[in-house]
Structure 1
Amino acid sequence: MTSQATNQLDLHHRKEIDGLRALAVSAVIAFHFFPGTLPTGYLGVDLFFVISGYLITLLISRQAAKNEFRFSSFYLKRVKRILPAMLAMLVASSIAATLILLAPDLERYAKSQIATLSFIANIYFWRTGGYFSTSDELKPLLHMWSLGVEEQFYLFFPAILIIIIRFIRPQSLKIVALLVIATSSYGINIYLTHIGGSNPAFFLLPTRIWQFAIGGCFALLPIIRPENSTRLNFLFIAGLALITINFVTPPSQIPSATLLTLGAGLILWNKLNSNSLLLRYLITKPVGLVGLSSFSLYLWHWPILVFLKYIYVDSVPLHILMSALLATILIAYLSWKYIENPFRSSIPTRTTLLAILSIYCVLAIYASTMLALKGLPGRDADLANSFANAIDSNYRCPPGNYRLYGASRSCLIGDITASPSLALLGNSHAQMYAPAIIESLNAHHQAGLIIPLNGCLPTIDLNISTECLKMAEINFQAIEKDRNLKTVIIAMTWYSNDLVDKSGASISDPKLSYREKSIMMLIDNLAKTGKNIYLVGPIAIPNFDFASVASRNIKFGNTIENSSVTRASFDSQFKSLISSLSRQLQGRLILPHEVLCDEEHCNFADKQGSYFSDSNHLSAYGTQKLRQLFNPIFERQQH
């Protein structure tokens, strides 16, 4: 790079952007290493999205104004900016994964690596889990979801922006066009979350692009003159205040980090005077260095933490955690200094592309080999691998089978060419039973419909929240009017004791008496429409990620504990309820505990595998054991 080019970069360098990046990555790392200290630290990723939207829009709009924008040059810079450091992290993570992970976990790692190399990591992690559960904490490449979103943004947004810049006049209408994109994306995000699609709303570009677009809007706004330092400082402080509010306020109170996005935009909008006291005292050299190396810090911190959590099973000792944090800082600094910077500036483009292509091929071959070999299962005990196979194996709806129904994002199962005649109604605990009935549906050429309200109950007079009550009522009315539905199977979690009524008054229900009355009222109301109603009874649950914990305890030579609860403890909690429901439902109560429990224990596994995929959902193996319980439903249909 010539000295003139270097001077141009220095001229346009903005310390406040380094400060924002430092804040963003520090928040994310604090959330991951010490989640109790900053529960909303994951919003740091949202900051990165706004920064990217601002910088990319600013870059493209300025180059387009001079007729200097070239797609080839744009994408080459993105490749040199992102891939060398990312590939270095993937090489190191692959070595660690091969040495540490159980075969099924290594196989899952290989799939996530292929998704990362294909720029669809966000889609992969959407389909295979989430972000906030404890099982997700053991996915070494989970953090690549955000890079997948950014890469997809880089792929599609420049063309959209060029169209806006070239064909829309004046400047104010360009901003309006970006606001239309932002508003549409924001609306889809809110809507998906409302109907139980919080996972796709979190992971996918269409529901995230509003933050990039808002950043772009601030890039197109007229700039305030530098001499007006008082106004610039006020906007900076206002933006910082809005960001701070998001980090100290429960996220449910501020949907989709709206204030954080606007706060970041206010800070990005104008460059502060170089003599500003805000720059001098808030964006110090250490803060600036963290900002400059933020990409490498983000890349390396997560796999380092995940592999430690995997090995220590229960919890990582504090001194190990602190050592890991120091190691993250050192490795990230080396990555920034000796990988990021050289490949962006001094290493010839031909050499860079050749190195990237070579490492890409090596990583693709490695991942394909691990998939072909099923993750090297011969290294560990069969039982450990069997338990690990159960992780995240609970049923998930194929995207093509989603249907809007009532207030839910429902799912077609069975012979989807037919009209649904059976419904699984409840929450994720209804959805997990789908494999137990899909084979029977197919055999009888019938279609079924899963109607879940995740995080809610199906009951219409008592529920987890007043919002759940509203959505449950909408679903009830839809089912009531649906003449095609002949059979309804209700399944739900029985461990939510804190309920509310329609007025919002809290109701504690430790003895389950309120829930019994509520569920029977729902059953009676649905039965009045002529439908056959069945209810799935309670099961004993581990309340911790049994499959993951047990499999790793076996691998690392630890004792397997808490693999069951006593039958007496289960009966003390549920026997009275089950007896009462059995009398009232007369053969229409399905009792999974009769299969999963023996006379002395309610087990979470047997010698063939784990009944549970996580802390409370049945695995594919666990559900398979219960298939016989649902056969009478289809046998009665034949008479």
Structure 2
Amino acid sequence: MKYRAEIDGLRAIAVVPVMLFHAGFGLFSGGFIGVDVFFVISGYLITTLIINDLDASRFSLLHFYERRARRILPALFLVVLFCIPAAWFLLLPEDLTEFSRSLVAVATFSSNIFFWKESGYFSTAIELRPLVHTWSLAVEEQFYIFFPLLLMAVWRFGKRAAVWILIAGFIASLAVAQWAAYNKPEAGFYLLPTRGWELLVGTFAAFYLQRGPVRTSTRINNLMSALGLAAIIFSVLMFDKMTPFPSLYALVPTVGAVLIILFALQGTLVHWLLSLKGVVGVGLISYSAYLWHQPLYAFARQYTLGKPGVAVFLLLGLLSLVLAYLSWRFVEAPFRKRSSAGMSRTVIFGTALSGIVVMMSLGIGGHLERGFPGRYPAFQTVSQSLGDWGDHDECYLNGAQSDARIRACVNRQPFVYLIGDSHADAISASVRARMQAEGVNMVTWAYPGCLPIRGTLERPRNKQQACQKYKKQFARYFAEYPAPVILSARWRAYMYGTGFDNGEGGIEFSRNNTQSIVLGDPDGDLDRLIEKELIELRSLAPVIVIDQIPEAGWDVYRKVVSRSRWKGAYDEITTSYDVYRHANARVNALLDRVEPGIDVVRTAAIVCSDDTGRCRDTMNGLPLYRDDNHPAPILAHMIADEVWHKLESHVVRKSPADTGQAGLQPIDGFY
């Protein structure tokens, strides 16, 4: 296969935006599309090698897998070897446990499946996971396993038949990706069936170019290759985390990459740009650079327990390139050459098997030892203070549930509703315990990332069907069985769509960028809609709103446990009260307007002080938050007390011994 310098240049165009995106530079909000460009390049190169060998009747699966092992595994093993001691010193027990499991996933070419399964709302932020980027390697590895077998099977029917079969696979994969982007976004992002079409885009380019280069004028080549480069740049600058992906939107960068592969021929401006020595140099080390950058970024975030500054990320990016050059020069290149001394097929497969066994052994050991918690003196005490996440009562409803289950709950008189998102989830067990102590039952409806206000739509539109279904179901039962309702949500985040920055280095990771809009009217007045909904609820029953619980910005749990290892005794952790007031001015103004008829629990009064101007994140050395915003049990219990103080005037209590018995009248016990 003839070497094309511009393809290495295209690799550089792919890897640099990915690195800048992972560093958190807002200008490159769509930098994640670099992975999609890599998929197209891989599909093109791999297919070219396979079909050329099939045409010459010399294709060998053993030889193909050997080449893939030489290309992928040596640098990967080197980076993993670096990650293991860094993880030991920097990761908390639960993070080291997850890292250990990810080692097994990397070793078995299934890290995309692993990170998909670990991509829940409350899982570790992806920015903190050293090996999360290996999901794309797993997609390619799975493609390399199955694609040659498919081509070998269909080749006997002729090249035209093979192309039509691949076209059918492309259409099916793209259709599934489009559906998944709106209905199963995590699965759609990570899995081969929804990513395969991107590799097939490159495959079609390989089939087309097997006949020879495109025979069009230099003017057309210039235009088409420039359009391709513009499409990639447009995607990098204009796409963001709100863009459903990999949906039809992904056609923009992938088609752009194909246009460059097809038309960036010698004599075109794009060919000249991508063939510049420096650009090609970055392209040559792009694989190693991709491997190195995420562990460096993740460990820096773990060490600082926040978001390092711009200068730090620039230095880490530069370090990634330096390490990439060294690993390319002394690891990648020697292993890729069969002529290198001692690099026979037997050595390659033996080394690969040994590396896989070592990774799996270490991974299984770290998992069984639960991340070696003895490394952190405060771990056990802090973990006990956090307890078990969640409310396990049968009347805790995570989203819409069966009518039989709900009716059994609303017939337990007297009762109250608690509705909301993950903040309602975080306090539900504590509020329930307080209610039960007063002889009151509680029905909780909670769904993560879902504002408990009808007529709103959350962006990105992940899990929207479940969110809307839960809100409709609550509204139906509330109308039929009106009872006091407590609302708890992360109001500020839905209004602004941003994470919290405490102004002192605690910048919340971007997984929480969820914004609400008015359903059917993206430019509608969200605040007015919330007011209207609260007033409508109040027309049927008493309403208690828990305001925006002060956010920490940094992960309080991690900060407490990490300090116990490295710094021993420490002062209480606090954040600025003024920052809280400023960040929540809009929320507080809204609640001020509705408060005359609606009870508001002012949570800042619990943890913030006018005298000190600070808000507590810890109390007696224990965290008030599970992470950077969700209340831990200590704070949840204090909030529950305040909720009861607001609620007790609306409830005719029964003795605790009487609770759990079905009542005959839907609103018995309330006035």
TM-score bucket (shorter structure): 0.7 to 0.9
Aligned to 1:517: 532
Q: Is the 8 A contact 1:384 1:550 kept in 2?
A: no
Structure 1 residues 70, 596: CA separation in 2 closer, same or farther (over 3 Å shift)? farther
Q: Is the 8 A contact 1:595 1:625 kept in 2?
A: no
Aligned to 2:669: none
Secondary structure at the counterpart of residue 525 of structure 2: strand
Aligned to 1:246: 235
Aligned to 2:361: 365
CA-to-aligned-CA distance 1:472-525 (integer Å, 9 cap, x gap): 766544566789x9899864322244675554444374xxx8634313435768
Aligned to 1:376: 372
Aligned to 2:626: 613
Structure 1 residues 129, 339: CA separation in 2 closer, same or farther (over 3 Å shift)? same
Q: Does 1:291 align with 2:278?
A: no
Q: Is the 8 A contact 2:454 2:472 kept in 1?
A: no
Of the three residues 199, 215, 218, the one matched with 2:186 is: 199
Q: What root-mean-square deviation, in Å, do the aligned CA atoms of Structure 1 and Structure 2 show? A: 5.0
Letter matched to residue 375 of structure 2: R
Distance 1:158 1:394 in 2: 46
Distance 2:384 2:157 in 1: 55
Structure 1 residues 500, 276: CA separation in 2 closer, same or farther (over 3 Å shift)? closer
CA-to-aligned-CA distance 1:400-425 (integer Å, 9 cap, x gap): xxxxx9xxxx7689xx9985657986
Q: Is the 8 A contact 1:134 1:545 kept in 2?
A: no
Aligned to 1:87: 77
Secondary structure at the counterpart of residue 26 of structure 2: coil
Aligned to 1:547: 557
Distance 2:293 2:384 in 1: 24
Q: Is the 8 A contact 2:419 2:452 kept in 1?
A: yes
Distance 1:637 1:79 in 2: 65
1:149-548 correspondence runs (5 A): 149-167=139-157, 169-170=160-161, 173-192=164-183, 197-221=184-208, 225=213, 228-230=216-218, 231-251=220-240, 252=242, 256=246, 257-269=250-262, 272-273=265-266, 278-316=270-308, 321-346=313-338, 347-382=343-378, 386=382, 426-430=420-424, 432=426, 452=447, 454=449, 456-461=450-455, 476-477=471-472, 491-495=488-492, 496-497=494-495, 501=518, 503-507=521-525, 509=527, 515-521=530-536, 539-548=549-558
Structure 1 residues 305, 497: CA separation in 2 closer, same or farther (over 3 Å shift)? closer
Q: Is the 8 A contact 2:222 2:263 kept in 1?
A: no
Aligned to 1:635: 659
Displacement, 1:276?
5.1
Letter matched to residue 454 of structure 2: I
Displacement, 1:298?
0.8
Structure 1 residues 133, 419: CA separation in 2 closer, same or farther (over 3 Å shift)? closer
Distance 1:560 1:381 in 2: 16
Structure 1 residues 536, 294: CA separation in 2 closer, same or farther (over 3 Å shift)? same
Displacement, 1:18?
0.7
Which sits farther off after the overlay, 17-26 or 603-612? 603-612
Letter matched to residue 557 of structure 2: A
Q: Is the 8 A contact 1:103 1:385 kept in 2?
A: no
Q: Which ranges in structure 1 are unaligned for 5 or more consecutive residues?
A: 1-10, 398-404, 441-447
Which sits farther off after the overlay, 474-483 or 296-305? 474-483
Q: Is the 8 A contact 1:149 1:205 kept in 2?
A: yes
Q: Is the 8 A contact 1:380 1:555 kept in 2?
A: yes
Q: Is the 8 A contact 1:459 1:522 kept in 2?
A: no
CA-to-aligned-CA distance 1:575-626 (integer Å, 9 cap, x gap): 99599779768xxx9x795997599997544458534333223468877998
1:37-76 correspondence runs (5 A): 37-76=27-66
Q: Is the 8 A contact 1:387 1:551 kept in 2?
A: no
Distance 1:437 1:152 in 2: 47
Q: Is the 8 A contact 1:219 1:269 kept in 2?
A: no
Displacement, 1:340?
1.5
Structure 1 residues 382, 453: CA separation in 2 closer, same or farther (over 3 Å shift)? closer
Letter matched to residue 54 of structure 2: A
Q: Is the 8 A contact 1:426 1:492 kept in 2?
A: yes
Secondary structure at the counterpart of residue 12 of structure 1: coil
Letter matched to residue 507 of structure 1: D
Which sits farther off after the overlay, 610-619 or 203-212? 610-619
Structure 1 residues 284, 469: CA separation in 2 closer, same or farther (over 3 Å shift)? closer
Secondary structure at the counterpart of residue 28 of structure 2: coil
Secondary structure at the counterpart of residue 457 of structure 1: coil
Letter matched to residue 519 of structure 1: L
Letter matched to residue 107 of structure 2: L
Which sits farther off after the overlay, 256-265 or 53-62? 53-62
Secondary structure at the counterpart of residue 141 of structure 1: coil
Of the three residues 117, 120, 126, the one matched with 2:107 is: 117
Structure 1 residues 394, 64: CA separation in 2 closer, same or farther (over 3 Å shift)? farther
Distance 1:569 1:232 in 2: 55
CA-to-aligned-CA distance 1:201-221 (integer Å, 9 cap, x gap): 322333322322322233333
Structure 1 residues 99, 34: CA separation in 2 closer, same or farther (over 3 Å shift)? same
Distance 2:379 2:149 in 1: 52
**Sequence identity, in percent?**
27
Displacement, 1:240?
0.9
Q: Is the 8 A contact 2:171 2:197 kept in 1?
A: no
Structure 1 residues 153, 603: CA separation in 2 closer, same or farther (over 3 Å shift)? farther
CA-to-aligned-CA distance 1:94-148 (integer Å, 9 cap, x gap): 1222233343433332222222223222233333347999943222222222222
Distance 1:248 1:166 in 2: 45
Displacement, 1:163?
4.6
Distance 1:305 1:95 in 2: 16
Displacement, 1:291?
1.2
